[in-house]
Amino acid sequence: MSADRFAIIDLAALYMRGLDRLDGALLEAQFWPDARCEYGVFSGGPADFAAFCMEMLKEHRRNHHMLGQHLIDFVSEDEAFGEVYYQAYHRVFDHSGAPRDLFIAGRYVDRYERRAGAWKIAYRSELVDWVRDDPASDAIVGVTPFIMGERKPADPLYNREAMR
């Protein structure tokens, strides 16, 4: 079952990449088409959820999701339940245009199904455990020559030729 466990863990990582790189197709692909998504601010299917996220996140300057512990309970060879801890950072702007750092931390409660040999999310619910909203505090970014993460397709992740 270790290959199955890694396949499910990859779903979470690819889900986060879809959010951070604003890649709606990648985000949607982590779910079965008939999956249910329950987020409080959204309830529905994966196609509508991906569109909702892309619309909401496009106003952010940056997004960064970090995964924590990932617990998976296999109840059969084709079904598992999981809990995934996350912490999400969002560069947002207040009503005056001032940058803010919004942090949200919580857990995803999932049900996964394997169909035709592939694991995907069949149900996902986001639980929020804490939120923090502070004035932006990254002035060093403007004076230090960091390579900054970007959205698809500008992010260096998508330029494999440059890595050769």
pLDDT in tens, 96-128: 999 999 999 999 999 999 999 999 999 999 999
**Cβ-contact 132, 102 below 8 angstroms:** yes
pLDDT for position 140? 64
Instruction: Count Cβ atoms below 10 Å from residue 149 Cβ, excluding itself.
Output: 14
pLDDT for position 155? 84
Q: Alpha carbon of 136 to those of 86, 128, 151: distances in Å?
A: 21, 22, 20
Interatomic CA distance for residues 46 and 52, integer angstroms: 10
> 140: which DSSP letter?
G
For the chain, domain boundaries: 2-136
* Alpha-carbon dihedral 67, 72, 77, 79, rounded to 10 degrees: -80
Q: Residues of the chain whose pLDDT is less than 70?
A: 1, 139-144
Interatomic CA distance for residues 86 and 107, integer angstroms: 6
> 158: which DSSP letter?
G
Interatomic CA distance for residues 119 and 31, integer angstroms: 9
The domain defined by 2-136 carries CATH number 3.20.20.80:
no
